[in-house]
Amino acid sequence: MGRKSLGRTWNVGTHGRNRNSELLVKPILTIMGTPQQVFADAALYLSLYLIGNTALFLYMQFTSIFRAFGDPSFQMKGMILTAIFNAILDPVFIRMYGLAGA
């Protein structure tokens, strides 16, 4: 469904998504007992989720580091900037890639 259009237009993170797909996603979905009817869509979603989860981890680490510097306003500005960036990019990715971009 959205997989074909996503594969044609989204080249960023392709290699990481394939490695996640081969190493983590299929065994996790199999253990969870994912039905075959939704397996392909679930694998695509979970592989994108794992990439996003890595970005979230890095974001949280950097905010903790900035907070430890002792200047909370610097950390606050960074959080506001990333929240605005996220609010702008979410609708763009949803329009471009469908729900897989969310």
Selection from 1, 6, 50, 3 nearest residue 25 by Cα:
50
Share of the chain above pLDDT 70, in %: 75
pLDDT (mean) for 70-75: 80
Q: In whole angstroms, what is the distance from residue 46 CA to residue 66 CA?
A: 30
Q: In whole angstroms, what is the distance from residue 31 CA to residue 21 CA?
A: 14
Mean pLDDT of the chain: 75
Q: In whole angstroms, what is the distance from residue 83 CA to residue 80 CA?
A: 5
